């Protein structure tokens, strides 16, 4: 078995026995035989039919796993994938452009947008109602309450440098929306939901 970092919102469905996943950017199947959440830590342990040795498991280390999805069925109305959010303009309630989304990541159960390229420099936007007033990645626009973010206050440098994170290239975002037909993203590519971040531990 391998240990996987869970990036999907619905691991019970994504890791159901019989489900087929793929290494990012490939069509080779990885068929799930068994899976269960890790009781004393984050992630799930997943057994793949095609992974029969520690050497094979090691080849999956730090590899993203994907599955093809029906976008219309997978996303709730008004929802979008993370990659559809990256590049959207972020504006204040007065219409002033504050930057663009360069990254999306999670802190616990909350999603956070990393914004760069505006007059306030780099800043983060927690995706909560008090901060995000409008979320429309289909229009390439997000409106935030600049006063709540207190962007006029100079940032305080924290020890240890920038926050560590890795942005999954494919994941779901809880708000907003974007065009795209079933199984395709807005760019016309297969829409995929990540199953894991760094498998590689054989039981």
Domains of the chain and CATH, by start: 2-73+181-196 (no CATH), 87-166 (2.30.30)
Contact in structure between 80 and 89 (CB atoms under 8 Å): no
Structure tokens at 147: 């006063």
CA gap 23, 66 in Å, rounded: 6
Neighbour tally for 2: CB within 10 Å: 27
Q: Model's pTM, two decimal places?
A: 0.57
Q: Could you read off the pLDDT tens digit of each residue along the chain, which spans 203 residues?
A: 899 988 887 899 899 999 999 998 898 999 999 999 998 878 999 999 999 999 999 999 999 898 887 777 777 777 778 888 999 999 999 999 999 999 998 887 788 999 999 998 999 999 998 999 998 888 888 999 999 998 877 665 544 444 444 444 333 333 333 323 333 233 233 333 444 444 544 33
């Amino acid at each position: 078995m391998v240990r996987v970092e869970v990036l999907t919102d619905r691991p019970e469905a994504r890791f159901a026995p019989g489900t087929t996943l793929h290494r990012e950017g490939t069509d080779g199947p990885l068929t799930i035989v068994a899976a269960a959440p890790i009781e004393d830590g984050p992630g799930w342990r997943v057994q793949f039919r095609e992974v029969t040795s520690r050497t094979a498991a090691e080849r999956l280390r730090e590899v993203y796993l994907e599955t093809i999805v029906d976008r219309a069925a997978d996303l709730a109305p008004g929802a979008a994938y993370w990659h559809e959010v990256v590049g959207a303009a972020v504006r204040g309630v007065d219409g002033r452009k504050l930057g663009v989304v360069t990254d999306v990541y999670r802190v616990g159960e909350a999603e956070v947008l990393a914004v760069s390229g505006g007059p306030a420099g780099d800043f983060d936007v927690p995706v909560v109602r008090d901060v995000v007033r409008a979320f429309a990645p289909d229009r390439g626009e997000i409106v935030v309450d600049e006063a709540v973010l207190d962007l006029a206050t100079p940032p305080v440098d924290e020890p240890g440098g920038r926050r560590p994170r890795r942005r999954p290239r494919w994941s779901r975002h809880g708000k907003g929306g974007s065009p795209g037909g079933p199984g395709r993203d807005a760019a016309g590519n297969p829409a995929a939901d990540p199953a894991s971040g760094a498998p590689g531990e054989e039981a």
